[in-house]
Amino acid sequence: MQKEFPGAKCALEHETPHQLLVSTILSAQCTDARVNMVTPSLFKKYKTVKDFTTANQNELEKEIYSTGFYKNKAKAIIASSKVLLEIFKGKIPQTVEELTSLPGVGRKTANVVLGTVFNIATGIVVDTHVSRLSQRLGLTKQKNAEKIEQDLMKIVPQKHWILFSHWLILHGRKTCDARKPKCSVCVLNDVCPSASKFLYMVEESRIQAVTSKTNVREFLTT
């Protein structure tokens, strides 16, 4: 993975720690690409933590509508900004415990911010790509994100915790598609327990297709 994706990094575009926090909240059940389409105008209007604390929730909901779950996200962004301003003097805290004390901030969001902004490896970010690929690779049998993270933390060296999720996310987008994984060209197919299964399915489908065409041809010529 390190050789495959040497420039791996967080896909959410941001200039400040708080912008990344807001972007990560918006990314729940939404693609990074969609979030990156919404945030430029958002951050142009709301430049500071204080700006978000005074935001009109109805207006903010309209501005982030396309990211989905906009009501809960707008509420979380405003509420977390208020706590940041009141308790942490507008600065992003640097521990999981403090970050997850913010409204709407879970362990995944905390890991994203700590790893990307402060290079602090407190855990492994588990999103849909990481969840799916870690199961396919046989690294976990769990389905709950926090349990998956615990399994991964036991086997992935801590020095790779921050980049590990980026590698799997990029690999999921490039090669390990949810429906049609490209196992024949996958750099992990020699260690992935799912590769042989998918390759067998592809070969079986090819044989069935060839057999079907042959049968039709024979039928038409008789």
Residue type, 124: I
Give the catalytic positions in this structure: 108, 127
For the chain, give the secondary structure using H, E and C. CCCCCCCCCCCCCCCCHHHHHHHHHHCCCCCHHHHHHHHHHHHHHCCCHHHHHCCCHHHHHHHCHHHCCHHHHHHHHHHHHHHHHHHCCCCCCCCHHHHCCCCCCCHHHHHHHHHHHHCCCCCCCCCHHHHHHHHHCCCCCCCCHHHHHHHHHHHCCHHHHHHHHHHHHHHHHHCCCCCCCCHHHCCCCCCCCCHHHHHHHHHHHHHHHHHHHHHHHHHHHC
Q: Are 137 and 194 in contact (CB under 8 A)?
A: yes
**Residue 196, burial from CB neighbour count under 10 angstroms (0-12, 13-18, 19+):** exposed
